[in-house]
Amino acid sequence: MKKVGFVGLGIMGKPMVLNLLKAGIDTTVYDINAKAVEALVEAGAKAAVSPKELAAGSDVVITIVPNAAIVESLLEAEDGILAGVKPGTIIVDMSSVSPVASQKFAAAVEKHGCSFLDSPVSGGEPGAINGTLAYMIGGDEAVVEKIRDVFLAMGKSITVVGPNGSGSVAKLANQVIVNLNIAAVAEALVLAQKAGADPEKVYQAIRGGLAGSVVLDAKAPMMFNRDFKPGGTLAINLKDITNVMDTAQSLDVPLLLTSQLKQIMHSLKADGHIMDDHSGIVQFYEKVAGVEVKKGS
């Protein structure tokens, strides 16, 4: 049976590890948050004192952390993953980073006789909890097949997009669509509120038509219930949208709506909302319109 090492036990990582354990997969964890590690050890995981130790005892190493700088440190530090890996280990980075960063990580991993997959995920915290995540993968399909059971323990949809970096490109596209949809929902509900309509009733009226979407169903209730507890923080999504814009600039691709969205997110950061869920984008529109979206109003 494969042994999995898992690094990053935050909003996404913790439930993902619980699903690995539920599937009977031998899992060792590492995180700088000792309480997160303790909780998963109680659930049946093993704990490693360093990424190096974790990698030494694993056939598959998965990382899901906030940014590329952390991934690089986890891989290349003196006590990092690459200091402990055996040749043939498969390293899977599920963080949201730029395609350039993913290609750099792949090159470093391959020098150690190991395989690298960039495999960001979509589905947010609910998908991580329910084991319904979608994977966008850059790398060798044959390598993916070797660990298909590991992927399926945590998610349902597995798509190999292309070579290393392609998974990260797909994630950038995903984040453009998701966050602009959230902004559109926010604009619509603020308009409804300002016009005197109950935003919950407006949501119910439109969700069965062409405007209906997974994003609408997930985020509109959070807006009119004033529930901005993060499943995906504005901080993480601003990081992703910044990666989008940096990639677009390098390719000379104009992204007019996404550039405006980035500025909206920076405004929310300045107003202290950066750790809210990205449904909190509605608070930008509320501020400029002078209303608060709230059901029953």
Known catalytic residues? 171
Q: What angle do CA 279, 219, 230 make, to 5 degrees?
A: 50
Q: At what angle do helices 34-42 and 13-22 cross, to 10 degrees?
A: 20
Burial of 165 (0-12, 13-18, 19+ CB in 10 A): buried
Beta-ladder partners of 117: 92
Quote the tokens at residue 20.
């690995």
Quote the tokens at residue 254.
């104009």
Asked whether the beta carbons of 222 and 215 are under 8 A apart, the reply is no
DSSP assignment of 191-205: HHHHTT--HHHHHHH
Cβ neighbors of 273 (< 8 A, separation 6 or more) are 228, 234, 280, 283
Asked whether the beta carbons of 182 and 279 are under 8 A apart, the reply is yes
Q: How far apart are CA 59 and CA 198, in angstroms?
A: 54
Q: Residue 230 carries which side chain, given as an amino acid letter?
A: P
Q: What angle do CA 219, 244, 266 make, to 5 degrees?
A: 60
Cβ neighbors of 112 (< 8 A, separation 6 or more) are 82, 85, 87, 89
